[in-house]
Structure 1
Amino acid sequence: MKTVGAFTSENARTKFLAAYGHALDRRWPGRATTDVPTAYGTTRVYTCGPDDGTPVVLLPGAGGNALMWHRYVAELGRHRRVIAVDPVGDPGGSVQDRPIEGAEDITRWLGELLTRLDVPRAHFVGCSYGGWTALQYAIRNPAAAASLTLLDPAGFGKITGRFIAWVIVGGLAGLSPRPMRHRAAGWVRNATLRDDDVMGLAAVTMGFRRRLPVPPPLTDEELRQLTTPALVLLGEHSQLYDAAAVAQRIRTLTRAEVDLVSGAGHDLPMSCPDQILDRTGAFLDRTS
């Protein structure tokens, strides 16, 4: 029997939502909140910015939610509508009630969400798992994707033991006292550990059980189908894969702009938000 991502108890959910709501209020005041019904569950989105024009949809990495974009929403929302998503199956305000078993399901969920939001076309900014989701959606729905900004996206190789170890060590460090957590950020090359708002949710997030599929490696055929304008930014020292090899593969098979961000790892959105904002803003201006 297939299962869905959920909190281990109602008490665990209540504690998480209280901490999450407090962090969002502190870092993203003035946002609008909407719960959208889909076949896979109720999806919560947060919006800001003007209503006209093509919106920007923000998709977080695995185990993440809209809070990871708190350094981005104000700047991106100056001239565009911003829609930050709490994906079903990840800890956030959404509630999953139907399994997601692969790319077809996850893109169907995203398409249904955007239809119900009356968003026929969008720019997508996706980190890691969110990057894979956005890429799969654009391949299947090219007319609905104005552009892709992919930050160290998943789906370019099998999950390695090195990456799993990095995640585990980061998770353990996230539960340590603040001074030790901040020091550990440099040791493990994970700037997320210095984000006190995001890491403030570490303990309460342990009450959530994630049940989403591991992204399978994208085939050459899939990449050749990508026609959407794309900017792919990879951490030079990504723990997820050999970034230089991935960059070369993307350049060979697509027309995407690809760049290795010096000194960054898979923590790319957290380690250099100003650089990412500059590059993303310029790219959006060119593709709008």
Structure 2
Amino acid sequence: MKYFKALLFLLVFILFVGCKKDEYKEFKKVPEYIAHPDRTHKAYYEAYDKTLQKWGVAYEDLYITTSKGIAHVLVSGPKDGTPVILLHGMSASSTMWYPNAKALAEQHRIFAIDLIIEPGKSYKTANFKNIEEITAWYEEVFWALKLESFHLIGTSRGGWIATDIALHSKRNIKSLILLSPVQTFMWIPPSTDLLKNIFNVFYSKEDGVWRTMETLSKNPSKIDETYLAQYRLGLKNDTVEKFLPQMKPFPNNELSTLKMPVLVLIGDDDMFNTKHTIKLTEKYLPKGRGEVISNSGHFLSVDQAEIVDKKMIDFMKSAETGD
């Protein structure tokens, strides 16, 4: 009987470890649109994979069926690490986190989700009526991944969506980190950089992309050319015009209901934010903290990757320990 109990315990242990190891096994089958893409998408997917060579840490691809199509998620980091969800910016994909993935995944389990209406490896089968449906779509993905407690990081438009999720989600969001969030605390201020982007319609696609990078980054030469090549191919899926008007700054009384620790980082040459963003963060968010990162623009996660990575990691640690 003694040996039988020991054998039974060993069997249960093996089954438990095995299930834990293949927790997302059902999402690892490569869908047809990735395995055999049409000519239009083939070049983009190849460029996407090439950018991932800059990821710096091992990753897994997950493909999750949702009500609006298939969500593609990049997962990295230790399986027992605290989950961190990454929401990318406008006209981009999860590969934009290539300067930050390695540092963030050292102790955390990161989940970078390709927004289904943007360039990336997610595949849309139904249209979205409004941006609220986008927030609901992310909730579907969280549910499929069984993520009930996590840190949430969003940049640019991803920062706006992350704030909307934090305001309405019933999940335990340990901390919220916003990197140059667009129209979250204030309207986009008029500037020469904004005007420069408007006039990009008069330039070739190649020149227009570089002019845009010059307005978004303090030092655009730091942006990896591999990523830029992917970015150019993905511009055809741009959805800024459709949803940007729906992204209005959140009322201060709504922001004040955010009870989790919130960190807002903006660049000192940020086209979408000013020091007023930091003032609003610290005035209305109960646990809000804001900071201006020197020598950086809207792309502060590229311009000052090491500094931003450290601030994010330290902030998540303090949120977990309560310091």
* TM-score category of the 2 structures, normalised to the smaller one: 0.7 to 0.9
| Cα distance change of structure 1 residues 142 and 275 upon mapping to structure 2, 3 Å threshold | farther
1-side partners of 2:76 and 2:212: how far apart?
Answer: 34
| Cα distance change of structure 1 residues 188 and 232 upon mapping to structure 2, 3 Å threshold | closer
* Structure 2 runs not aligned, ≥5 long: 1-36
Q: Deviations over 1:206-244 (max 9, x none)?
A: 332426511112112221221121111111221113x11
Counterparts of 1:123-272 in structure 2, within 5 Å, are: 123-141=151-169, 143-154=171-182, 155-159=184-188, 162=191, 164-167=194-197, 175-176=206-207, 189-192=217-220, 194-195=222-223, 196-210=225-239, 213-214=243-244, 215-241=247-273, 243-255=274-286, 256-272=288-304
| Cα distance change of structure 1 residues 118 and 142 upon mapping to structure 2, 3 Å threshold | closer
Q: CA deviation at 1:117?
A: 0.7
- Of structures 1 and 2, the one scoring higher in RCO (CA 8 A, sep 6+) is 1
Count, aligned residues? 276
Q: Are the counterparts in 1 of residues 296 and 303 from structure 2 also a CA contact under 8 Å?
A: yes
Aligned to 1:238, what secondary structure does the other structure show?
Answer: coil
2-side partners of 1:194 and 1:173: how far apart?
Answer: 22
Q: CA deviation at 1:283?
A: 0.6
Q: Deviations over 1:157-181 (max 9, x none)?
A: 33456464354578969825x9xx5
Q: What is the aligned partner in structure 2 of residue 3 from structure 1?
A: none
Return the structure number with greater helix share. Answer: 2
| Cα distance change of structure 1 residues 120 and 250 upon mapping to structure 2, 3 Å threshold | same
Q: What is the aligned partner in structure 1 of residue 27 from structure 2?
A: none
Farther off after superposition, 68-77 or 102-111: 102-111
* Structure 1 runs not aligned, ≥5 long: 1-8
Return the letter of the residue paired with 2:250.
Answer: L
Q: CA deviation at 1:189?
A: 4.3
Aligned to 1:93, what secondary structure does the other structure show?
Answer: coil
2:315 corresponds to 1:283: yes
| Cα distance change of structure 1 residues 210 and 192 upon mapping to structure 2, 3 Å threshold | farther
Aligned to 2:243, what secondary structure does the other structure show?
Answer: coil
Q: CA deviation at 1:47?
A: 0.7
2-side partners of 1:87 and 1:193: how far apart?
Answer: 26
2:94 corresponds to 1:62: no
| Cα distance change of structure 1 residues 186 and 24 upon mapping to structure 2, 3 Å threshold | same
Q: Are the counterparts in 1 of residues 91 and 237 from structure 2 also a CA contact under 8 Å?
A: no
1-side partners of 2:291 and 2:200: how far apart?
Answer: 25
After superposition, the CA RMSD in angstroms is 2.8
Q: Are the counterparts in 1 of residues 149 and 171 from structure 2 also a CA contact under 8 Å?
A: yes
Q: Deviations over 1:28-60 (max 9, x none)?
A: 563100011112221100111111242011111
Structure with larger Rg: 2
Q: Are the counterparts in 2 of residues 138 and 144 from structure 1 also a CA contact under 8 Å?
A: no
Return the letter of the residue paired with 2:50.
Answer: H
